[in-house]
Amino acid sequence: MKFSMLAVLAASFMASNTMAQTDAEAAAAALAMAKKLYPACALVCLTELVPTSGCSLTDTTCLCTNEALNANLSVCVLQGCNYEDALKTKNGSATMCGLPVRDESLKPPLVAGVGFALALVFFILRLCSALPGFGRELGWDDWTIIACVILTVPPTVFAFTLVDNGLGKDMWTLPLKNIENVLEYYFLGELFYFLAQAMNKLSILFFLNRIFQHNNLSKAIWVTMGLVLAYAAAFFFATLFQCWPINHAWLQLEEKHLGRCNNIHLQGWLSAAFNIVLDVIILVLPLHQLYLLQMPLKK
C-alpha cells in the first residue's frame, strides 16, 4: 500500500494559513496539524524522509505523486507502525490526496443470492423426480445433495453479513473490529465450503454408481469417493488449524494477540490443484461406459 500521507500536511497548511504567512510558518502549521492527524510512528517516517524528498510541505501535487517518496514511506510505516496505525495513516493520505473511494459492496450479496436461488430451483426440480408417482425413491445421491444445499446456506448468509462489516470497501476506511469480523466470517465460510464441495462431488459419484452398477466402474467410483473424503478431511482440518490459536486467523492484526499461521497461500494453491484433479477424474469416469453405448455423437 502506498502512503501519500504528506498531502495531509499540505492540506492542513492550506486550511490554516493566511496569505501573510511565510513558507516557514506554513510548514510549521502543517507539521502541527500532522501531529494531530497521524500516529507517532508515522510522524517519525515523515521527519526522516521529507527533507530528502525534494518536495515542499505545501506542494500537494509533489507529495501525492512522488513515487520514490511514497514507496519509502510505505516501507517505513509498515515497519514502524502496527497494522491499525498503518491503516489510519493510509486512510488519511488517501482522503487528502483525493483518491477515489471504491465501493463494490453490491457484488458479494448479488452473486451469492442469485447463485443460491438458481441452485435451489434446480435442487427442487431434482427432488420432484423422487416424488410418489415418478417411480424413484430418494437415493444416496439425493441425500448428499440435500446435505450440500444445507451446507451452502451459511456461506450465502455470510455474504450479506460480510458486506455489513465492510466487504467490498477499501480496508483502510474500516474500523479494525470490522476487518476482524470480515476475516472471521470468511474463515467460517471456508470450512462450510470444503464440506459442501465434498457433498456435491459425492452426490455425482453416488449418481454414477446408481446408473453404472455391477461392473468395474463401480469399484473406481468407490475409490474416488475415498479420495474425495480424504481431500475434504485434509483441507477442512488444515483450514481449521491454519493459525494457532484458531482465533489468530481473524485477530492477527491486533498487536497484542500472539500466534502463528501456516502459509495459507500455498495451502490455497494445493487445495485448488487437488480439487481440479478430482473434478477431472469424476468427469472421465463414465466416458468409457458412455462410449460402449454406441450412441451417435449428436446424442
* Of residues 22 and 226, more confidently modeled: 226
pLDDT at 17: 42
Contact status, residue 81 vs residue 41, Cβ threshold 8 Å: yes
pLDDT at 24: 65
Largest CA distance in the chain: 95
And the C-alpha cell for 51?
527533507
Q: What is the DSSP letter of 52?
A: G
pTM metric for this prediction: 0.80
Return the number of other C-beta atoms located less than 10 Å from residue 98's C-beta: 12
Alpha-helical regions (H) of 97-139: 107-128
Which residue is associated with the grid cell 490526496? 97
* Of residues 19 and 158, more confidently modeled: 158
pLDDT at 27: 63
For residue 244, the cross-strand partners are 260
Contact status, residue 239 vs residue 190, Cβ threshold 8 Å: yes
For residue 169, the cross-strand partners are 103
- What value does the mean pLDDT take over residues 42-56? 80
* Of residues 245 and 289, more confidently modeled: 245
59 annotated to a ligand binding site: yes
For residue 260, the cross-strand partners are 244
Please, which pLDDT band fits residue 5 given cuts at 50, 70 and 90? very low
pLDDT at 19: 41
